[in-house]
Homo-oligomer: A and B are copies of this chain.
Amino acid sequence: MDHRRSRTSATRRLFEEERSAEIVADSFADTPDPRLQHVMTSLTQHLHDFVKDVGLTVEEWEAAIRYLTATGQKCSDTRQEFILLSDVLGVSMLVETINNRSDGTATEATVEGPFHVVDSRPRELGDTIAEPGSGEPCLVTGRVLDRTGTPVPGAVVDVWQADADGYYDVQHETRPEYDLRGLFTTDGNGTFWFRTIMPRYYPIPDDGPVGELLEKTARHPNRPAHIHFEVSAPGFRTLTTHVFVADSPYIDDDTVFGVKASLVREFTQVDDPRRAAAAGLDNPFRTVDFEVVLGA
């Protein structure tokens, strides 16, 4: 590159502690994409503020370099350690939230998570997504509405969840068919219902740098029990969210900060052989109703 090329900025970029962020930000003055320039300028300012606020030592900086390197090198085709790091620092939830702000009427979003990796099988309303006898029976019912409360017929409700041991189907080494996933379509009243088992809370992968961070900060690696929902219909913004089990361990301490108060539901205990038989479930069972309001 020709060192004589002109620069937009005529600033002499001589380093000074007080003006450090300003000097670095100035080096981005010629960035062709104004959005990239804005993002890099802000990132520089916040990074420098952080280093100054804590008075980062050389040893801490070296530890940070080693940590980021190890995090990158832990990544593979089946493992994304930087997403996990973003998750446990609440950054993933923050990005999800600011990009899917609710107007207070639409159902709130939460993170998609790493397990939406196979297509859910289309199923009939009332079908079970669980193998019989594989856990505590559960009936899930709900409706999809627009923000005026009008039902949305024909909405596609994609659900997936962990099993009674806290594992997703794809985490089992051998499994003939994927289960605990289903693709349902709401009926003429915007209603959906299906049978399943109670999901269990589970730990995120903690045998890498993120697990080391959790260990050193006395944090546990667990997420409270939940069922994932992705709900879509023509003319609406697709919603990615969870319904959380109110009495699950870790309900108030999700290690990825995915729980929003509006997404927690009681999974009610039912001990009624007639209702169980009508639903096609063993008695007793649990049930939850989850009303989904789609935004535009």
Chain A positions within 8 Å of B, measured between CB atoms, are 1, 3-5, 7, 11-17, 20-21, 23-24, 27-28, 30-33, 36-40, 42-44, 46-58, 60-61, 65, 68-73, 75, 80, 82-83, 86, 89-99, 101, 110, 201, 216-222, 249-250, 252-255, 257-261, 264
Give 29 A-B contacts (CB < 8 Å), ordered by A residue: A1-B222, A3-B220, A11-B252, A13-B254, A14-B261, A14-B264, A15-B110, A15-B258, A17-B97, A24-B90, A27-B253, A36-B216, A42-B50, A42-B54, A44-B90, A46-B49, A48-B91, A51-B91, A51-B94, A51-B98, A55-B98, A56-B98, A69-B75, A69-B82, A72-B72, A72-B73, A72-B82, A73-B73, A73-B75
> In the assembled complex, which residues on chain B have CB atoms less than 8 Å from the CB atom of A32?
216, 218
Closest 6 CB pairs of A and B: A72-B72, A24-B90, A12-B252, A3-B249, A30-B218, A46-B50
Q: Which of B13, B33, B36, B50 contacts A252 (CB 8 A)?
A: B13
Nearest CB in chain B to that of A244: its residue: B14
Bound form: Cα–Cα A17–B69 in Å: 30
In the bound complex, do residue A65 and residue B83 qualify as a contact, i.e. CB atoms below 8 Å apart? yes
Bound form: Cα–Cα A253–B2 in Å: 13
In the bound complex, do residue B16 and residue A260 qualify as a contact, i.e. CB atoms below 8 Å apart? yes
In the bound complex, do residue B257 and residue A24 qualify as a contact, i.e. CB atoms below 8 Å apart? yes
Q: Which of B58, B68, B98, B221 contacts A52 (CB 8 A)?
A: B98
A90 to chain B, nearest CB (A): 4
In the bound complex, do residue B47 and residue A91 qualify as a contact, i.e. CB atoms below 8 Å apart? yes
> In the assembled complex, which residues on chain B have CB atoms less than 8 Å from the CB atom of A264?
14
> In the assembled complex, which residues on chain B have CB atoms less than 8 Å from the CB atom of A80?
65, 69
A247 to chain B, nearest CB (A): 12
